[in-house]
């Protein structure tokens, strides 16, 4: 048995975490998207952390959308969701990782970045 991974002090922003997460996304082991509803934009992530492999299930408020008009004037058809958002995610698993600072209560200190579809409802 491998011992549990420690808090990531070495390469929390390494490109490889994004690559691993992207592979998981393409293999349907990870779900990531942005949902826009009533002018609220939320990023959604369900899947394994690319480093510690603990299950992540996140709903993060990204921003308030002041107006949807600029996107609508691009002529995008609601039936063909082609809008994309670039989203930064950070591991917030609920497992223990040795060396985690006392004021941090989740995660292994690993960030990754995905380009995901925007869903409107």
Task: Report d(CA 97, CA 92) in Å as an integer.
Answer: 11
Is 21 a binding residue for Zn ion by CB under 5 A? The answer is no
Using rule CB under 5 A, residue 95 touches Zn ion: yes
DSSP SS3 for 79:
coil
Nearer to Zn ion, 36 or 93 (CB): 93
* Site membership for Zn ion, residue 52 (CB under 5 A): yes
Quick one: DSSP state of residue 19?
A: H
Question: Per CB under 5 A, does 108 bind Zn ion?
Answer: yes
User: Dihedrals φ, ψ of 56, to 5°?
Assistant: -110, 140
Instruction: Quote the strand ranges of the chain, DSSP E.
Output: 31-37, 40-48, 55-64, 84-90, 111-120
Q: Which is nearer to Zn ion, 33 or 54 (CB)?
A: 54
Site for Zn ion contains 90 (CB under 5 A) = no
Nearer to Zn ion, 41 or 91 (CB): 91
Q: Which residue has the tokens 């609920």?
A: 94
User: Nearest distance from residue 47's CB to Zn ion, in Å?
Assistant: 11
Stretch that binds Zn ion, among 11-19, 26-34, 45-53, 76-84 (CB under 5 A): 45-53
CB 55 within 8 A of CB 91: no
Residues found near Zn ion in the complex (CB under 5 A): 49, 51-52, 54, 91, 93, 95, 108, 110
């Amino acid at each position: 048995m491998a011992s549990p991974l420690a808090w990531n002090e070495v390469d929390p922003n390494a490109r490889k975490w994004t690559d691993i997460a992207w592979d998981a996304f393409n293999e349907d082991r990870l779900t990531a998207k942005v949902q826009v509803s009533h002018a609220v934009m939320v990023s959604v992530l369900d899947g394994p952390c690319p480093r510690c492999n603990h299950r992540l299930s996140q709903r993060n408020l990204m921003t308030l959308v002041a107006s949807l008009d600029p996107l609508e004037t691009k002529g995008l058809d609601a039936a063909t969701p082609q809008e994309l958002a670039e989203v930064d995610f950070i591991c917030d698993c609920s497992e223990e990782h040795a060396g985690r600072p006392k004021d941090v209560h989740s995660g292994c200190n690993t960030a990754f970045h995905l380009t995901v579809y925007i869903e409107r409802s």
